[in-house]
Amino acid sequence: MCGIAGFTHRRSRPDPDLIQRATQSIVHRGPDQQGVYESDTVSLGAVRLRIIDLAGGKQPMHAGGCVIVFNGEVYNHAEIREELIAKGHQFDSKCDTEAVLRAFLEWDTASFQKLRGMFAFAIWDESRQRLVLCRDRMGIKPLYLYESGEDLYFGSELKTLFALPAVERRLDSEGLSHYLSLNWVPAPFTLAEGIRKLNPGEWLEWVDGRITHRKRYWTLQFEPDDHMRYEAAREELDALLRASVREHLVSDVPLGIWASGGIDSSTVLHYASEAAGRKLQTFSVSFKGRKFDESPYFREIAERYNTDHHEFDLNPEQDLADAIEQLTHYSDEPSADAGALPVWFLSKMTRRHVTVSLSGEGADELFGGYETYKADNYAAVARLFPSLLRRAGLAVAQMLPVSDEKIGFEYKAKRFLAGSLQDPVAAHLYWNGTFAQAEKERLMKRVATVPTGDYVDSRTPYTRPFANRAMWIDQLHYLPDDILYKCDRMSMAHSLEVRPPFLDHRIVEFAARLPQRFKVRGAKLKFILKDLMRDKLPQTILTRPKQGFDIPTHHWLRTSLKPLLLDTVNRESVEATGLLHWPEVERVITAHMDRRANYGYHLWGLLMLCSWMKRWGVHAGR
């Protein structure tokens, strides 16, 4: 696991310290080894966290007139190496970076389809003066881009680009508009004007001062097979999970498992225990004394598999303000997902014991695990009733007393009824998001040209039934740009590699072929996964209510985090955005503090935004 940075310079060779500064900005991603490569046309930098072949694998790596900087893990690199050796290639190391480079020398961009894993890399072909960038299929590893004149800049994090004088630090109005709706920024947008993300499953080629190709080497085909036999599908899922977890366990450094006590992480732990042949370490975060504390479940599963278990209790007595300040630095872009805070503490604890951890990310999106999928089904029924009746129900719900629960009944009722008045895609996004389009139009001086729901809708091919389409939307957008983004930044801030076995692309493609009834049946979520694990996991794990992995945002922003919120989200910081109306922000703060509404998630997003702009000196948007 590593971080990469680089840029082209056709007209004049830059200050040699420039690539060093860009590389040093992400040293937390790779504290074990750093290196740079410079030619008349390109500068490349890499930082390395040694996981495989600890002695070899130094970066940047050279072979056959090409240079690579690589971030990630390719789990089938040994198979690729054997195929290349048969073709006459000679290897100098046992690391996956060299396998990726030599595969490119043999098959060029066609090699990308052979790679199985999580990665983002850049290859410079000196003889052809050609730069090629590539990102993994699911967007597990990040890659940012910035074009200036004839030159292209790139890096694993925004920090690498902010280290370069050519890059302006200006707030992007379209990115902000989408952020306020979703709590995250959909690719290719970012919150920094001019900086964009390479899409998952995409590669890009730069030659002679321009981008000559930008293509997908993999596109998820969501084509449910209604004739699929259930028992055969169940057996195939069992085999796929067993193989993926086994591959994800390969490591030359200590490895553990993140265990929440939910079915996803417990499934990973089950197959890891089968394959490891040794005692595993597990890591969890508790919220002692809170209704959503999961410690009884993860302690049960840790005892079931006899793990060496570690846990951290997250409570208001922790130095939350300091942690949030650190989040601002390492988050790169602000994330309004309050789950980043427990992941921060979880990563910090985990890194004291291991360098690699497996996690359950992706299972909810693949197999239908979110409550929003039930809401989608219920809303379809609600829309059969006149909108006047639904508006009346919303008016009644507005009179319900505001609770301090993380996600209480009144919050769910208001969000559901408000969502039922929107079209299905906008409603699905709204239930996981914050500001509705009408609210955003009051909040912003200028919203995105295309409403967020329409933008996401236009990038997601149509499919029936809607629950399948909602899962497709989440896999293409919510998963890479929120869940995986959060996991990458919080873990790499502590030099920890996190691997999600559910996101092996073979499992993703398998899940896309499943009929909806195998995943969501009425109020039953993740049907096939729970059925598969029924004779493997304790019943309590299979039947327990789902808990979101985040903090009690509504309550903490009224209590322990209130001083930080009011000090950070004020008239000066809001007006500094150049894009937000302070009176509307003030109204939201006042309504939340007076307990007239629960705006905790909205305010968390504004807190992260204002903190980020101040930390990185981001200027007002145009």
425-468 tens-digit pLDDT: 999 999 989 999 889 999 999 887 788 888 888 877 666 778 88
- pLDDT-derived band at 550 (thresholds 50, 70, 90) equals confident
User: Per the structure block, which two tokens stand in for 216?
Assistant: 């997908």
Which domains are present in the chain? 2-171+188-216 (3.60.20.10), 221-318+346-434+452-548 (3.40.50.620)
In this predicted structure, what is the pLDDT of residue 110? 98
User: Cα separation of 431 and 373, whole Å?
Assistant: 10
Strongest mean pLDDT among 79-83, 223-227, 549-553: 79-83
pLDDT beyond 90 at 618:
yes
User: Cα separation of 350 and 342, whole Å?
Assistant: 12
Nearest residue to 351 (alpha-carbon basis) of 486, 261, 246, 254 = 254
Each residue's pLDDT tens digit, 505-540 = 999 999 999 999 999 988 899 999 999 999 999 999
- The residues facing 133 across adjacent strands are 122, 204
Ramachandran quadrant class, 277 (left: phi over 0; alpha: psi -120 to 50; beta: rest): left
Each residue's pLDDT tens digit, 209-264 = 999 999 999 998 888 899 999 999 999 999 999 999 999 999 989 999 999 999 99
Place of tokens 């990469």: 4
Cβ-contact 4, 134 below 8 angstroms:
no
The pTM assigned to this predicted structure is 0.94
- The residues facing 38 across adjacent strands are 43
| Cα dihedral 180→185→191→196 (10° resolution) | -160
Query: For residue 305, what are the contacts with CB-CB under 8 A and spacing of at least 6?
Result: 269, 270, 273, 280, 282
Query: For residue 358, what are the contacts with CB-CB under 8 A and spacing of at least 6?
Result: 245, 248, 249, 255, 256, 257, 258, 268, 272, 498, 499, 500, 501
Angle (CA) 35-41-46 rounded to 5° is: 20
Residue with more model confidence, 181 or 545: 181
Torsion sign, CA atoms 555, 559, 560, 566? positive
Q: What's the whole-number mean pLDDT along residues 279-306? A: 90
- Give phi and psi for 539, each to the nearest 5: -60, -35
pLDDT beyond 90 at 609:
yes
Amino acid, res. 588: V
In this predicted structure, what is the pLDDT of residue 318? 81
